[in-house]
Amino acid sequence: MVERSDLEKIRDWADVKISTGAEPPWAWYQYMKLRETLDIILAGMAAATKGDLLPTEAHQGSGLRLVACNSSQDISQHHRAEPPVQLPM
């Protein structure tokens, strides 16, 4: 698993590459994309560790629940939207 500190080191490295101005334009653009992506990942990691994403007791019972059908009837009847086409014989 990649640690937050590792991602921060990579972002710092990309910042150094961007700030020197010695990189060709295509490489500078790639370093910028790398930095933006790392910023998004680090922000997501911070949000996931806050605990805001955990359900509270008030919301635990309000989600979807699985319901079994014990009826012997076939509830999966298919209905055609159009009448069947009669082919000439």
Q: How many CB atoms lie within 10 A of CB 14?
A: 19
0.85 exceeded by the pTM?
no
For residue 57, is it within any domain?
no
pLDDT of residue 77: 59
Domain that holds residue 21: 4-50
Count of the separate structural domains present in the chain: 1
Q: How many CB atoms lie within 10 A of CB 18?
A: 16
pLDDT tens digits along 10-66: 999 999 999 998 999 999 999 999 999 999 999 999 988 876 555 555 555 666 777
Query: H/E element holding 7?
Result: helix 4-20
pLDDT of residue 80: 62
For residue 79, is it within any domain?
no
pLDDT tens digits along 64-87: 777 776 766 655 555 667 777 777
For residue 73, is it within any domain?
no
pLDDT of residue 84: 75
